[in-house]
Structure formats: structure tokens, C-alpha cells
Amino acid sequence: MKNYNKLIIYTDGGARGNPGPAGIGAVIKNKDGKLIDTVSEYIGKTTNNQAEYRAVIAALDKIKDCEAEELNFFLDSELVVKQLNGEYRVKNQELAPLFVKIYNTTMKYKKVTFRHVRRELNKEADKLVNEAIDRAKASV
């Protein structure tokens, strides 16, 4: 992936049931809104919140070789956004290591923001989540 100064990243994670079959999705764009890459992956049986965190981690893995200075994440999970912004403590033992991984990975960037958006503004990432779960169900 070539170098970009600023990336705009929409992520989503979802489970059908909680826990249930889950998928993650991410849409990575440059500062002008041009699509750079996507993630659409089935992650097995997990909770909605775990899937939300794993979607952020997958996006960070996807851009790890990119020399971006600024990352702007948009998620439709208000809980995860508030946890990543330090407004809420992460009390769940299964989410804590995922939080730490995101925190440590984002330390290399000059600026990282996590913002909450309404679900209808996160349709692209949501679609990738559902496609991943549907692909997994079709292959069984």
C-alpha cells in the first residue's frame, strides 16, 4: 500500500446472535474519500463488541505498511468508541486485550481519532460484515 498522510477508516463488526456467527468489515479511504482498500472477513462465533474491536484491529493490520500520520476511524458502536477514547473503562476481560492491542498499535501515529456515526452512515462497512457472514454460511 502506498503512503498516505491521512486515512479515513469505517469499521464495523457484527454477530448474528450475541454471541453468534460474526464478521468484520472495514472501508479504508484517502483524505479525499477515494477507496483504497477493504476488509470483509468471517471471524467465527463471537460477540458484537468483540467483532467491533476486531474490525478496528483488522483495519490497522491492513494499513500497517502505510506511512500515514493521521487516522480517522468511524464506528457505529458508541460503546467501543467511548472505550477507545478513554471515556469508559474496559471492564470485559475478553475486550481488554483487544483494547490494549489497538492502543499499542495506534501509538506510532501522530493523530488517531475514533468517532461514533449513525449506522446509516456506516453502510459500506456493515455490508462487508454481512457479506463475510453470508459467505461463511454458504460454504458450510
Residue percentage of the chain with pLDDT more than 70: 99
The greatest distance separating any two alpha carbons of the chain, rounded to the nearest whole angstrom, comes to 43
| pLDDT attached to residue 140 | 73
Instruction: Return the domain boundaries, the chain.
Output: 6-133
Helix (H) or strand (E) holding 48: helix 48-62
| pLDDT attached to residue 2 | 72
Question: Is residue 23 within 8 Å of 41, Cβ to Cβ?
Answer: yes
Per-residue pLDDT tens over the stretch 1-13: 677 899 999 999 9
Compute how many other C-beta atoms are within 10 angstroms of the C-beta atom of residue 1: 14
User: How far apart, in whole angstroms, are the C-alpha atoms of residue 74 and residue 92?
Assistant: 22
| pLDDT attached to residue 1 | 60
Per-residue pLDDT tens over the stretch 21-32: 999 999 999 999
Report the phi/psi class of residue 91: left, alpha or beta, with left for phi > 0 and alpha for psi in -120 to 50.
alpha
Superfamily of 6-133 according to CATH? Ribonuclease H-like superfamily/Ribonuclease H (3.30.420.10)
